[in-house]
Amino acid sequence: MLQMRSVSKQYPHRGRMVTALDAVTLEIPKGDYVAVVGPSGSGKSTLLLMFGGMMSPSAGQVLIEGQSLYALDAERRAALRKKKIGFVFQTFNLVPYLSAMENVQVPLFLAGVDDANQERQAASLLDRVGLTDRLDHKPSELSVGQQQRVALARMLANNPDVILADEPTGNLDPDTSRDILDFFEELNREGRTVVMVTHDVRAAQRARRVLRLVDGAIVNHERDETRSMPERRTDDMCGAEAR
């Protein structure tokens, strides 16, 4: 479960204090799929970064499975993030001089996986996202949609329980966006929690629950009761081996 308890975030900007989040209290159960929507500057990305352990609150608590994230020191917080959380960004953040295979191997290398298993697991993950024939291609040799698929494969390398996605379809054409959202639904059916920030109404409609932020506060939430929560996690083989 992801939780926020009376979380606020203020920061100085051009001589005045800006409130990014305003006393937000929120619970996201394990296995939920939540879309966070709202106007620019409403606090969506701040909320996502806080759940990702990358931005501490000015007040309140952020918890993952009951653990107060920012009560941990930086090293322990990074270890929890590496074990539990996968990130998907609009800009992909691929290393430009590495191949698709090598980009996916990076988190496996950091986790101490030996070379042979790095290659086997990375190839399996890229096969899962439909890029078996692009293993040796660098990002500049791939389409935008293919780059996002490499980013998805890399995100899965640590077999995360929680997926945090910031505008994952923002740079994609409609067909590729649909494919990526189909993949998120597949991951969610496996029992993974998905929190997605989006401006795309069609993307938000694919989630089980929609949270609307305005001026740093949750003003509305809607749940799709027609979609049941997954009861348990079904690990894909390559992901389980990556732990």
Are residues 137 and 90 in contact, defined by beta-carbon separation less than 8 angstroms?
A: no
For the record, the structure tokens of 89 come out as 């960004």
Distance in angstroms (rounded) separating the CA atoms of residues 175 and 26: 33
Per the domain annotation, does 109 fall within a domain?
yes
Distance in angstroms (rounded) separating the CA atoms of residues 188 and 182: 10
Per the domain annotation, does 156 fall within a domain?
yes
Per the domain annotation, does 61 fall within a domain?
no
Per the domain annotation, does 104 fall within a domain?
yes
- pLDDT of 76: 92
Per the domain annotation, does 6 fall within a domain?
no
Per the domain annotation, does 12 fall within a domain?
no
> What residue numbers bound the domain in which 179 lies?
30-49+73-241
Q: What is the pLDDT of residues 176-230, one digit of tens each?
A: 889 999 999 999 999 999 999 998 888 999 999 999 999 889 887 666 544 554 4
Q: What is the pLDDT of residues 33-54, one digit of tens each?
A: 999 998 888 889 999 999 999 9
CA 117 to chain centre: 24
Across the chain, what does the average pLDDT equal? 87
Chain position carrying tokens 């996201």:
28
Per the domain annotation, does 129 fall within a domain?
yes
Per the domain annotation, does 16 fall within a domain?
no
pTM, to two decimals: 0.85
Number of domains in the chain: 1
User: What is the CATH number for 231?
Assistant: 3.40.50.300
